[in-house]
Amino acid sequence: MIFFLLMLSSTVLLTISRHRITCYYWIFLALVSAFRFEVGTDYPNYVNLYYDIKAGYQSYLHLEPFHLILNKLAFYLNFGPQFIFFIYSILTTFLFALFYYKTSKIYKGLNAKMVFALCTILYVGNYYFLTLNSIRSCLAAAIYVMSLYCFLKGRRLLMLLLLIIGSTIHFSIIPIALITVFLLKFIFPVKKITFFIFAAILITNPISIVKYIFVTYKLMYYNYFLSNTFAVPATFIGQMSAYGGVLLALIFYSFFTRYIRIEDKKLKAIFQLSILLFIAFRIFSSELFVFARMSRYFSPVLYFFTALAITYYLQLKVRPAFRAASLFCVVLILVVSNIIMFMPRGLGDASYGNYKINYCINTMSVCDIPISTMD
């Protein structure tokens, strides 16, 4: 399975922890994604949409402007649907790589190479395969995290410009952008006790109260809370997963703030914002499915802080003689846990089990090379 190959190369990468090697690895990730053929559950949907737009069907009029323009550019250049995946893959991978590369140097005194490498393996193990499916929302998420970096550097206008651009790629970023700008301007950073008060309010799931009012009194759009299309069934496993992720996020925040001091107020604000909004949308996803998609915007940011915490511990708490062995153990744990988590999906989805390449991005034909990864 292709995932095992990626994990294996990630392990080698992290034992080296060099910027150049890590950058080459990100290029490899971009190419694997850009030239994939029939890989990912949404692949046929985007191909069908490409031909629907080309045929002039009116169903595409609700699409975000960026995706519509990109498809029409492909028509104008007489390129096939593979061109769409190529552009999304290159942009998404580049922006995430740039974000991790830049932010790895934010915390002074830590090994930026190690932070960048750890961010890479966390991204590969937890987010990369998501980018093979939700290509529009993941590109919007990549632009969103870059807007947060602009906030760190005090480039407010560039931050706003990126958020506006992101809204043309996926509409789900619009409420997130408004919430982010408001909270960073007027609320965050806050004291630790205030943070946990906010978290406690979110865990009570205030959206459930809104749902009760809408459904009971049959207010406008109340059917969104009842439809299987918009609502996530509140199964026991689903609830355990949501609240388990919330508990893990709170534990991580507690330990992080206890042992690692963040002097930069902007960095602290982004840390608190990302965790609280991640918690909020994970909890709210049991009421409306769209919230599950929104939580994806904050996971990549939390990977950075996780890598920061691991690097801090290895560099400042572990003796130099044991540092390399400790790094290898951390990498091994991350790799094994990610393989266990993704193994059922990889074995059950033939598109992941039998990877194919289509390098004909500038023609309507398919130049596929199957690579059997099942064995």
Per residue in 150-164, pLDDT (tens digit) is 999 999 999 999 999
Strands (E), the chain: 354-358, 368-372
User: What's the domain count of the chain?
Assistant: 1
Calpha distance 26→90 (Å, rounded): 10
Rounded Cα gap, residues 90 and 31, in angstroms: 8
* 13-71 tens-digit pLDDT: 666 777 888 998 899 899 989 999 888 778 888 999 899 888 877 665 578 899 999 99
Q: What is the mean pLDDT of residues 325-341?
A: 81
d(CA 334, CA 120): 11
Provide the mean pLDDT of the chain.
85
Name the least confident of 76-85, 221-230, 334-343.
Answer: 221-230
85-105 per-position pLDDT tens digit:
999 999 999 999 999 999 999
Q: Is the CB of residue 128 less than 8 Å from the CB of residue 21?
A: no
Specify the range with the lowest mean pLDDT, choosing from 208-212, 217-221, 308-312, 335-339. Answer: 217-221
For residue 373, which phi and psi values (nearest 5 degrees)? -120, 15
Residue 354 has pLDDT above 70, yes or no: no
- Model confidence at 229, in pLDDT bands (50, 70, 90)? very low
Q: What is the DSSP string of 159-214?
A: HHHHHHHHHTT-TTHHHHHHHHHHHHHHT-S--HHHHHHHHHHHHT-HHHHHHHHH
| pLDDT of 318 over the 70 cut | yes
Question: Percent of the chain at pLDDT above 70?
Answer: 83
Angle subtended at Cα 291 by Cα 290 and Cα 294, rounded to the nearest 5 degrees: 95
What phi and psi, each to the nearest 5 degrees, are found at residue 357? -115, 135
Q: What is d(CA 53, CA 71) in angstroms, rounded to the nearest whole number?
A: 8
Determine which of 30-34, 109-113, 355-359 has the lowest per-residue pLDDT on average. Answer: 355-359
Domain of 31 in residue numbering reads as 2-372
Please indicate whether residue 295 or residue 270 has the higher confidence score (pLDDT): 270
pLDDT tens-place string over residues 125-152: 889 988 988 899 999 999 999 999 999 9
**Residue 7: predicted pLDDT:** 65
Comparing C-alpha atoms, which of 320, 278, 312 is closest to residue 296? Answer: 278
The answer to whether 330 and 153 have CB atoms below 8 angstroms apart is: no
Tokens standing for residue 147: 């807007």
* pLDDT value of position 286: 72
Cα 80 from Cα 350, distance rounded (Å)? 23
CA distance 184 to 273: 8
Q: Is 58 exposed, middle or buried (0-12, 13-18, 19+ CB in 10 A)?
A: exposed
Beta bridge partners of 372: 354
pLDDT band at residue 170 under the 50/70/90 scheme: very high
pLDDT for the residue 41: 79
Average pLDDT over residues 256-268: 93
Q: Which is higher by pLDDT, 240 or 243?
A: 243
Q: What is the separation, in whole angstroms, between the first and last Cα of the chain?
A: 7
Looking at residue 108, its pLDDT comes to 87
Tell me how far CA of residue 203 lies from CA of 131, 180, 233, 239, 284, in angstroms: 28, 19, 18, 12, 9
**Average pLDDT score over residue span 244-261:** 90
